[in-house]
């Protein structure tokens, strides 16, 4: 399998550079392992088949990072592709994210490209025992999202919640204004609808490209609780309104329109925050709702799970 950029011979490498604002200038390396998953679904397809779930075939990841002098960076390496289930086809991917989070404001930049999907719930479609494959199906996502803390006198830190780049000292929380721009492109040379379901929704059968430019505005809230024994648990939840300009390219037609939908993001974290050693588990889920054709919805979703350990030098 080949990626969308040069890779090491035995590993699929994806880089994730993360700039993290930190209240401390101490040098603090960390290492972690986990998994991330990108899927998109077509919902409300018809009464008999409510949802079609599309997923690329990608390996898990490990990450090494370093925080120092108020900033941080990390690099993620993906596992060997030889261990993947070949029945799920081959996927090409590029996933780059750049983030900055202080106690007052933050920003996230996304560049995500995936090509080659399989239908995760293929067994529900036509009674097949094999996966429906879509090797030419492409999904791209580019975005810039920001947040501003409305009240954060307690020093709540999203970087602290996710990987303890900031030291978590006490229970704290904050409310946020969130917003930004995102662009989505879904493209295929052939129909993205599996053969047994073609003919039910002819517009979705004939859809070859969807381009959406969105403006996102909303609110968020976050809090973590710290015990006397230095264990913590917390979460951040964002709810945004998404206004999109849509362009649908069909086999014999082109449509332009606009829609408004609701999207959300959830980040959770728990762990132990010591003076020298910090360890924890974090996870996030990010879901966007886009309007499909003929009363359907297309929902890109990104999820991740991460287990890490960090050491803080004097």
Q: Provide mean pLDDT across the span 219-231.
A: 95
Whole-number pLDDT of residue 21: 42
Mean pLDDT of the 51-63 span: 84
* Predicted pLDDT of residue 7: 36
Mean pLDDT of 55-79: 70
CA-nearest of 263, 304, 278 to 38 is 304
Residue 3 and residue 6: Cα distance in Å, rounded?
Answer: 7
Q: What is the model's pLDDT at position 65?
A: 67
252 pLDDT above the threshold of 60? yes
Of residues 221, 217, 311, the one with CA closest to residue 272: 311
Average pLDDT, the chain: 84
Q: Which residues pair with 100 in a beta bridge?
A: 107
Q: At a CB cut-off of 8 Å and minimum separation 6, what does 248 contact?
A: 207, 209, 210, 254, 255, 256, 257, 293
From 95-109, 184-198, 268-282, the region with the lowest mean pLDDT? 95-109
Taking the alpha carbons of 164, 169, 173, 179 in that order, is the dihedral positive or negative? Answer: negative
Summarised one tens digit per residue, pLDDT across range 75-133 is 666 677 777 888 999 998 887 777 777 788 888 888 889 999 999 988 888 767 789 99
Which tops the pLDDT comparison, 137 or 74? 137
Q: Can you give the pLDDT at residue 105?
A: 85
Distance in angstroms (rounded) separating the CA atoms of residues 278 and 293 = 48
Res. 203 pLDDT band, cuts 50 70 90 = very high
- Indicate the pTM of the whole model: 0.82
Task: Check pLDDT > 50 for residue 237.
Answer: yes
Q: State the distance between the two ends of the chain, measured CA to CA, in whole angstroms.
A: 44
Q: Which two tokens stand for residue 121?
A: 């719930």
Residues 109, 30 contacting (CB under 8 angstroms) = no
Distances (CA, A) of 121 to 126, 133, 288: 11, 11, 20
* Amino acid 15: pLDDT: 36
Rg of the chain over all Cα atoms, to the nearest angstrom:
21
Over residues 172-188, the mean pLDDT reads 95
Interatomic CA distance for residues 55 and 270, integer angstroms: 28
pLDDT of residue 217: 97
pLDDT at residue 45, as a whole number: 74
* Position 185 confidence tier, pLDDT thresholds 50, 70, 90: very high
CA 11 to mean position of chain CA atoms: 21
Give me the pLDDT at residue 2, please. Answer: 41
């Amino acid at each position: 399998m080949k990626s969308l950029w040069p890779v090491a011979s035995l590993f699929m490498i994806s880089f994730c550079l993360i700039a993290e604002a930190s209240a401390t200038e101490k040098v603090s390396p960390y290492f972690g392992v986990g998994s991330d998953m990108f899927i998109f679904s077509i919902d409300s397809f018809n009464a008999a088949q409510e949802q079609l779930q599309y997923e690329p075939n990608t390996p898990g990841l490990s990450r090494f990072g370093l925080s120092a002098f108020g900033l941080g960076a990390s690099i993620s390496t993906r596992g060997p592709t030889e261990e993947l289930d070949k029945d799920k086809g081959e996927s090409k991917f590029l996933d780059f994210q750049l983030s900055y989070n202080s106690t007052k404001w933050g920003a996230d930049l996304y560049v995500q490209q995936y090509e080659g999907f399989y239908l995760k719930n293929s067994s529900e479609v036509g009674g097949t025992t094999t996966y429906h494959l879509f090797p030419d199906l492409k999904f791209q996502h580019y975005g810039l999202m920001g947040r501003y803390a409305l009240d954060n006198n307690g020093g709540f830190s999203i970087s602290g919640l996710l990987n303890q780049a900031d030291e978590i000292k006490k229970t704290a929380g904050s409310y946020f204004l969130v917003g930004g721009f995102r662009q989505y492109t879904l493209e295929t040379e052939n129909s993205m609808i599996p053969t047994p379901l073609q003919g039910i929704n002819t517009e979705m059968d004939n859809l070859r490209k969807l381009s959406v430019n969105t403006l996102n505005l909303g609110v968020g809230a976050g809090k973590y609780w710290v015990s006397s024994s230095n264990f913590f648990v917390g979460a951040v939840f964002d709810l945004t309104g998404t206004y999109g300009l849509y362009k649908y390219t069909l086999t014999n037609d082109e449509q332009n329109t606009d829609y408004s939908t609701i999207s959300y993001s959830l980040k959770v974290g728990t762990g132990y925050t010591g003076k020298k050693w910090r360890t924890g588990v974090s996870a996030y889920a990010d879901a966007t709702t886009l309007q499909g054709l003929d009363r359907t919805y297309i929902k890109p979703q990104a999820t991740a799970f991460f287990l890490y350990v960090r050491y803080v030098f004097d």
